[in-house]
Structure 1
């Protein structure tokens, strides 16, 4: 039986998954928790074939770092358990390797249990909601990710470059008040409290390109 590593910053989520795993027959001794990338790497070093349940949007890591971990521990299985992921990110991870599965946080219990069982057997699992558009050939904007307008995305990109509200207002020939209103709308849609959190969220979720912008 494979070890289970829970890499999720939300305590309630970790406890819930741990409870379900134990109820499904996994010994509690095989369940570990990782609060950061160092812990996750150490856990995989001890259990190279572990099943990793990770909330990519909130966990402090990048897609490239996940790929490095997967290459270092090829027998490991990653379950991307999140509520907001861009389509580009999903396609890169899911179609790039069967070692990555995807389960949205609004998936029902049956899908969660099916995903855990598939991971235990080393098989890829994609929840029905994502599978519906992932293999349909249709273009979809996101998998549950908050939608920003074109203007909001541009302002978020400017924030990622370290520009102030006054600088953004001057560049766009808008008032400072208007930019502040856009900022508030961005924070509300992303459910964050400040610009730093918004930028980090947007970079991980694929709203802005990590190759073009820096914090």
Structure 2
């Protein structure tokens, strides 16, 4: 059976993290070419251009040139690249938008050896992986989200989507042939039902529940 050899690009300023991942990738049951350090976004772009099915092992908190916005842009440009987010905490917006995407996986640095190794093996095979700690949090959160979602009417969900994409009350009123007061009332009801106090919090909810996607939000 032909071995699958993947190129792994490690994006993390912590030397200990890169050394640890490199050690795991050199295990006999993982076949990998390792690029241990990338210093600039231009260098990173050149690597993705060369290795368009690479695996990127990334901690956004320890990268000087990648952010949530740039990761989303790179994913659009290089859809075959596999992203393994390896960090102490996971970015909520990214996770809830892409947790079911086979090109995105999530594992915590505090996970044990076997679970981190399992994540790397899944990356070689192109399979989605979510560590057990994150999975437990996700299941609980989805239950809470679904409970809140059931409280919103169809009209409220539609208006929430418009709010989350940056539409003002006046723009929503004009687009839906409503009075501004009616839109403001809907907005108040949405905030009350979701137990949020700002457009930012409402937008985070819309991203997490898939009412809008990250590409739509960042345009």
Instruction: Give your verdict on TM over 0.5.
Output: yes
1:30-63: per-residue Cα shift (whole Å, max 9, x none)?
2113223222222111111011101112213221
Q: Which residue, out of 31, 35, 38, partners 2:34?
A: 31
Q: Which residue, out of 43, 47, 71, partners 1:43?
A: 47
1:106-161: per-residue Cα shift (whole Å, max 9, x none)?
01111111101111111110000001121332459xxxxxxxxxxxxxxxxxxxxx
Aligned-residue CA RMSD (Å): 2.1
2-structure distance, mates of 1:38, 1:64: 16
Q: Is 1:57–1:85's contact at 8 Å kept on the other side of the alignment?
A: no
**2:16 corresponds to which residue?**
12
Show structure 1 runs of 4+ deviating over 4 A.
25-28
2-structure distance, mates of 1:39, 1:24: 29
Q: Do residues 80 (structure 1) and 85 (structure 2) align?
A: yes
- DSSP 3-state at the match of 1:19: helix
1-structure distance, mates of 2:12, 2:40: 9
Deviation at 1:71? 1.8
- After TM superposition, the score normalised by the length of structure 2 is 0.58
- DSSP 3-state at the match of 2:6: coil
Q: Is 1:8–1:35's contact at 8 Å kept on the other side of the alignment?
A: no
2-structure distance, mates of 1:89, 1:31: 25
In the alignment, structure 2 segments of 5+ residues that lack a partner are 146-203, 205-219
Where do 1:190-209 residues align within 5 Å? none
In the alignment, structure 1 segments of 5+ residues that lack a partner are 141-205, 207-215
Deviation at 1:99? 1.0
Quick one: structure 1 residues 108 and 42, their matched pair in 2 at CA, closer, same or farther if it must change by over 3 Å?
Answer: same
**2:108 corresponds to which residue?**
104
Q: Do residues 69 (structure 1) and 74 (structure 2) align?
A: yes
**1:94 corresponds to which residue?**
99
2-structure distance, mates of 1:115, 1:134: 17
Quick one: structure 1 residues 16 and 112, their matched pair in 2 at CA, closer, same or farther if it must change by over 3 Å?
Answer: same
2-structure distance, mates of 1:24, 1:37: 31
2-structure distance, mates of 1:26, 1:86: 27
Deviation at 1:98? 2.3
Q: Do residues 114 (structure 1) and 114 (structure 2) align?
A: no
**1:56 corresponds to which residue?**
60
From the two aligned structures, give the one with the greater helix fraction.
2
